[in-house]
């Protein structure tokens, strides 16, 4: 499905979630969602998140959080697989594109400071980076998402397959057979067999290259 189709389905699901998730309507979040996400957030989703991840699973826009001052704040995007707490903030668009005043800068720092002790991990993304460095941003998001994947790997994997998965999670880019062979101290032929098995199990995807010169990436 195209980005527009997936995005529209996701937003409608989030609006319904805001209406029903707690048994009472979250009026402020519902208002923000029905108004529409900001230009910077949509650009991030279109050019960074969706090409890198391919879905919007566990991603919640305009997520309401309560800080230590007993106030409410809204994160641009919250990524919460399995109860984890990841926040993505898009910086540098609209009214603060060039004039990020002292008060707003102070508020951004305070928001992160108040929520970090509660277990939140934040990934700030500059709007200019979305425009100028989309590939680097995609790699960072893959790493960010990988951080929240369980440290345990499937019990159905052998030791070599499990170590390939762990190795791939630590990197900010696709992996090559040569890197894996050196890491595992295995032959090139054995390494390619392991990678092929992980592709068949739909754990890795082929990122690029032809024939033997391929790179691989975790399927998220």
CA distances from residue 138 to 49, 90, 100, 131 in whole angstroms, order as listed: 7, 14, 25, 12
Q: What is the Cα–Cα distance from 142 to 144, expressed in whole angstroms?
A: 5
- Of 150, 162, 149, 170, which Cα lies nearest the Cα of 201? 162
Residue 129 has what pLDDT? 94
Q: What is the Cα–Cα distance from 80 to 60, expressed in whole angstroms?
A: 8
CB burial of 53-82 (b: ≥16 within 10 Å; e: otherwise) equals beebeebbbbbebeeeeeeebebbbbbeee
Residue 191 has what pLDDT? 93
Residue 154 has what pLDDT? 63
Residues 31-51 have pLDDT tens digits of 899 999 999 999 999 999 999
- High-pLDDT (> 70) share of the chain, %: 82
95 confidence band (pLDDT: 50, 70, 90) = very low
On whether the CB atoms of residues 83 and 97 are closer than 8 A, the answer is: no
Kindly tell me if the per-residue pLDDT of 164 is higher than 50. Answer: yes
Range with the poorest average pLDDT among 25-39, 90-104, 140-154: 90-104
């Amino acid at each position: 499905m195209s980005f527009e189709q997936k995005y529209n389905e996701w937003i409608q699901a989030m609006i319904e979630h805001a209406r029903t998730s707690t048994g009472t309507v979250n009026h402020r979040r519902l208002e923000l969602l029905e108004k529409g996400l900001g230009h910077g957030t949509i650009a991030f989703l279109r050019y960074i998140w969706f090409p890198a991840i391919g879905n919007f699973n566990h991603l919640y826009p305009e997520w309401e959080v309560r800080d230590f001052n007993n106030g409410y704040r809204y994160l641009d995007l919250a990524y919460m697989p399995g109860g984890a707490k990841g926040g993505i903030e898009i910086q540098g668009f609209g009214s603060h594109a060039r004039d990020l005043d002292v008060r707003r800068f102070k508020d951004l720092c305070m928001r992160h400071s108040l929520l970090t002790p509660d277990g939140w991990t934040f990934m700030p993304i500059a709007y200019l980076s979305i425009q100028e460095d989309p590939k680097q941003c995609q790699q960072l998001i893959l790493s960010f998402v990988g951080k929240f994947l369980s440290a345990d790997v499937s019990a159905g994997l052998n030791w070599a397959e499990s170590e390939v998965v762990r190795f791939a999670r630590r990197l900010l880019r696709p992996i090559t057979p040569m890197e894996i062979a050196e890491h595992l101290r295995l032959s090139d032929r054995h390494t390619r067999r392991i990678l092929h098995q992980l592709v068949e199990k739909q754990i890795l995807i082929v990122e690029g290259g032809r024939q033997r010169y391929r790179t691989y990436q975790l399927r998220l």
